[in-house]
Amino acid sequence: MYLESPQNPRVKAWGALKTKKGRTEAGQFLVEGLRLVRELLASEVAVHALLWNVGGDELPDDVLALSEQRRVPVYELAPGAFGVVADTVTPQGVVAVAELPDVTRARLPQHAVLLDGVQDPGNVGTLIRSADAFALGELCCGSGTADPFSPKGVRATMGGLFRLSVCSLASVTYVQQWQRAWPDGQVLVTAASAPMSCHQADLRRPTLLVIGSEAFGVSTEVVALANGQVKIPMSADAESLNAAVAGAILMYELHRQQQ
């Protein structure tokens, strides 16, 4: 189907998915770029539509074959209409419309990560990418954390969002649910002033790792529920690490100890 007008109802509805309100109301989110669309089509996530900018390059044969195999309808959009949907400055010419998962259900695996107040969607997406790389069972976007299904967040996950269990619950609620599931487990929060380095902690046990915002750290309510605090040993001249970098180091240490 060819859609030319930016005012077309379908085009406007897809464009609204760039906002959290639009995503919540429609139960869908956008995936932009060839690499991510390939990852999406190869995953188990439901895909509702594939949108192609007819003013750009032809869709690769493998993408067309995957969409046909999965019976995903392909819509041809004029450049003006495609601009309503695309989020990047220099779009690659393809966007997929995917089904938003139920983020209110937590799996509560024995090794999980909770983001508490991580507000930058790029950091959230990178942390999801790291959790996927280091085989964490789940990542929860807790209180005050950016929506991982925003266009920027999705891009930063580099496909990890399609493989990793991701939920969104109030931080205290997730901690309490996880503790009920793993009464012998430990909840560890990250803090620069923590008395114990991450490599000194026994991370072979069931562990929920909590990463807070760069500005304020982990909330006092979550700290009160935790079993302990850990830090990353650094040079005395370094003040702090970016939340995504710190989270990736801690997840690697957790994964290393599991091996």
CATH fold for domain 2-99: 60s Ribosomal Protein L30; Chain: A; (3.30.1330)
- What does pTM read for this prediction? 0.92
**Do residues 228 and 197 lie in contact, with contact meaning Cβ atoms separated by under 8 Å?**
no
- What's the CATH number for 111-258? 3.40.1280.10
Question: What's the rounded Cα separation, in Å, for the pair 166 and 98?
Answer: 15
Encode pLDDT of 67-109 as tens digits.
999 999 999 999 999 999 999 877 789 999 999 999 999 999 9
pLDDT of residue 45: 96
pLDDT of residue 237: 66
Question: What's the rounded Cα separation, in Å, for the pair 49 and 181?
Answer: 38
* Tokens describing residue 148: 């991982």
Taking alpha carbons only, the member of 13, 29, 216 closest to residue 117 is 216
Place of tokens 């930016």: 6
Q: Which amino acid is at 210?
A: V
What percentage of the chain carries pLDDT values higher than 70? Answer: 98
| Helix ranges restricted to H, 108-170 | 121-133, 151-157
Which residues of the chain fall short of a pLDDT of 70? 236-239
Which ranges in the chain are annotated with CATH 3.40.1280.10?
A: 111-258
